[in-house]
């Protein structure tokens, strides 16, 4: 019994050490952002006790006179919200077809579909850029939004399909007895039962899109179409590597929405990951 308690205690100590190690950079970033501009990198003894608390760093960065940071934030919000919506729609429809419908070659088609996950996204960037250019969508919201679901639909479809397979077929059969069509079953039966999986995919899509840098950098050419991640990289370059408080303020502004979104969906996210184990 004593050895068991010792092992449990050791496990908790290890987990706490890992948690502290993981959180330390974020804590350092947050408290550094409250130091006065042009302050040196804070030492551990000064991190939580700056010479004055510079809460004005956040309004200053958001209203930075040389860069429209508020516009960057709005662009990221519009692009991310649209991507999450499109991703959920496309992936849930495809997953419903692969999980609940029967047609010739379904499993073979799904296997080929999954094989596309093995293609690195960076390999498709150049042809994707050329397609978007030919469509005249460069430096537009469609050009920023539509490539994201294209690059990650296979993963989202796989995730939702695994969850849909865990739902009892009796739900479909009962709905069909009431005269429901496939689309009605999808909308009124499957989706309400799949909230954890949908929240999981939404969290992934939000975080991937909000923190994406490479594609928005390629697809935009004017300042007013930049997303927050790309726009604040310009903010960083404007200060070089000297103004740490303002750079950390910009980093917190980028990170906070993704963190808050994840925390809001955390209950569904964990449940969705657990329930979307490989099946069938």
- Whether the CB-CB separation of 156 and 212 falls below 8 Å is answered with no
- What is the arithmetic mean of pLDDT over 224-232? 87
Residue 105 sits in the same domain as residue 175: yes
Does residue 137 share a domain with residue 52?
A: no
How many domains, the chain? Answer: 2
pLDDT tier at 1, thresholds 50, 70, 90: low
- Please give the Cα distance from 131 to 137 (Å, whole number): 9
For residues 145 and 19, state if they share a domain: no
Query: Do 159 and 242 reside in the same domain of the chain?
Result: yes
Give the residue carrying structure tokens 């000064």: 46
pLDDT attached to residue 62: 83
Kindly state whether residues 186 and 266 are assigned to the same domain.
Answer: yes
Same domain for 91 and 47, yes or no, is: no
Residue 280 lies in a domain: no
Query: In the prediction, which pLDDT does 134 show?
Result: 93
Decide which of 40, 58, 76 is a domain's last residue. 58
Angle among Cα 199, 273, 103 to the nearest 5 degrees reads 80
Pair 101, 221 in one domain: yes
Same domain, 73 and 37: no
Contact (Cβ atoms closer than 8 angstroms) between residue 276 and residue 197: yes
d(CA 273, CA 276): 5
Average pLDDT over residues 180-201: 90
Structural domain range at position 123? 64-275
pLDDT score of 236: 66
Please state, in angstroms and as integers, the Cα–Cα distance from residue 58 to each residue in 12, 24, 83, 196, following that order.
Answer: 37, 21, 27, 34
14 and 124 share a domain? no
Scanning the structure block, which residue is given the tokens 């860069």? 67
pLDDT of 146:
86
How much is the average pLDDT of 237-253?
Answer: 77
Neighbours of 2 (CB within 10 A): 6
Last residue of a domain, one of 22, 42, 58: 58
Domain endpoint, select from 58, 73, 96: 58
């Amino acid at each position: 019994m004593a050895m068991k308690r010792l092992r449990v205690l050791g496990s908790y100590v290890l987990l706490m050490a890992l948690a502290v190690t993981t959180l330390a950079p974020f804590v350092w970033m947050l408290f550094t952002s409250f130091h006065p501009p042009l302050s040196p990198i804070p030492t551990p003894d000064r991190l939580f006790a700056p010479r004055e608390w510079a809460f004005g760093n956040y309004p200053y960065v958001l209203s930075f006179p040389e860069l429209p940071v508020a516009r960057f934030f709005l662009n990221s919000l519009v692009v991310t919200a649209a991507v999450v919506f499109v991703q959920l729609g496309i992936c849930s429809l495809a997953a419903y077809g692969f999980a609940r419908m029967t047609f010739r070659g379904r499993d073979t088609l799904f296997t080929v579909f999954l094989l596309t996950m093995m293609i690195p996204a960076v390999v498709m960037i150049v042809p994707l850029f050329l397609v978007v250019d030919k469509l005249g969508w460069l430096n537009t919201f469609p050009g920023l939004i539509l490539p994201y679901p294209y690059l990650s639909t296979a993963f989202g479809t796989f995730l939702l399909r695994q969850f849909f397979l865990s739902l009892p077929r009796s739900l479909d059969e009962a709905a069909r007895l009431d005269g429901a069509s496939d689309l009605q079953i999808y909308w009124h039966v499957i989706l309400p039962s799949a909230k954890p999986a949908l929240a999981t995919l939404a969290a992934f899509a939000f975080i991937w899109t909000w923190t994406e840098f490479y594609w928005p950098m390629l697809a935009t050419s004017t300042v007013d179409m930049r997303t927050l991640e790309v726009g604040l990289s310009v903010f960083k370059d404007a200060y070089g590597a000297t103004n740490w408080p303002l750079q950390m303020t910009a980093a917190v502004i980028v990170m906070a929405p993704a963190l808050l979104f994840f925390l809001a969906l955390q209950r569904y996210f964990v449940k969705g990951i657990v329930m979307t184990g490989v099946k069938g």
